[in-house]
Structure 1
């Protein structure tokens, strides 16, 4: 069991495959961390599917339509690219070709993905439950996809 050092900057995500604990990085991407916490507190991510899951790469979620084209009703975020590397367990925002288009969709890396470095805004790191992330059904789109059951800020639990 991972030690939660800062409950206000930790996400507890219950998925159909089990619990995933994510340590947030407010020092790296403050606006993106604020958005993830805001949407989590609103229950936005509850019952949202993992719509795009590529073996050896990443699992993507955060689209309430489940199609990969949706987002929240909040404005898109300015990019917060950093020197943090996309490694196994990294949580990063999905976006369109426009670097300032991240909104609610995000992905969790299954493996290191250095080609994404400095092109996507990293906001967290899985500290517990990567074994559960590894169990998420693969596909583009996924047939009968796994989903986020609930996603909460640890301080609120």
Structure 2
């Protein structure tokens, strides 16, 4: 199943993924310690706790790297926009997706009244545990929907090798961390990473493993009861 999703995503993301980092990095450039490697919440970061009917997921947000995306998520969370919203699409060993108040995957509005632009940073990537924005497969179409990467490292080297063959530029730290923890590198520079799970990844795994039906929708609702923001 994950292989199929991978091939579908590649057709819309590989060009962006392959070229996006070249504007800022050369192969082998060093970034030092990546923000997603550290499980503590730094002074320039924000804590969010997603309270679900299956448990709590603790996340840190990165306003320094994705200021507008974090503002959107924080504003919607504090306004109660996500209260009672379900995770409408879950795929084991890939991701869990929510944030659409219609529960269909076709709805949702941003805190700014429409869509807003992508914010890509070479310091953030779609490692296992990454919090990222869902979109319609086109640039700058962010609204309210988000997903959490749940993929392990079983196929990540294959993905990285393929993307490098297409001209993808990945700093050594990024490659090493992908290899260690897993993730979905084919989504880099196609979706905006703006946070990372630092507690409750077992809850993410549990949600990803629930029985699903049509369109990967859980047969029993997985509900976001509220999202708590601590600044």
Superposition TM-score, scaled by structure 2 size: 0.63
CA-to-aligned-CA distance 1:70-105 (integer Å, 9 cap, x gap): 002622110112222201110000000221111100
Match of 2:89 among 52, 73, 93: 52
More displaced, 62-71 or 6-15? 6-15
Q: What is the distance in 1 between the residues matched to 2:224 and 2:45?
A: 20
Q: 1:149 to 1:116 in 2, by over 3 A?
A: same
**Is it true that 1:12 corresponds to 2:49 in the alignment?**
yes
Of 114, 119, 144 in structure 1, the residue corresponding to residue 220 of structure 2 is 144
Quick one: distance in 2 between partners of 1:55 and 1:106? 16
Tell whether 2:109 aligns with 1:72: yes
The match for 1:34 is 71
1:60–1:100: structure 2 CA closer, same or farther, 3 Å change rule? same
In structure 1, stretches of 5+ residues that fail to align are none
TM-score w.r.t. length of structure 1: 0.91
CA distance in 1, matches of 2:230, 2:78: 10
Which residue is 1:154 aligned to?
230
Is the radius of gyration larger for structure 1 or structure 2? 2
- Which structure shows the higher helix fraction? 2
Mapped contact 1:54–1:138 kept (Cα < 8 A): no
Which runs of at least 4 in structure 1 moved beyond 4 Å after TM superposition? 2-8
Could you tell me which of 120, 123, 133 is aligned with 1:93?
Answer: 133
Cα distance, 1:65 vs structure 2: 0.4
When the two structures are aligned, how many residues end up with a matched partner? 154
Question: Which structure has more strand as a fraction of its residues?
Answer: 1
CA-CA distance at 1:118 after TM superposition: 1.1
Change (3 A) 1:134 1:10: same
Asked whether the 8 Å contact 2:45–2:62 carries over to 1, the reply is: no
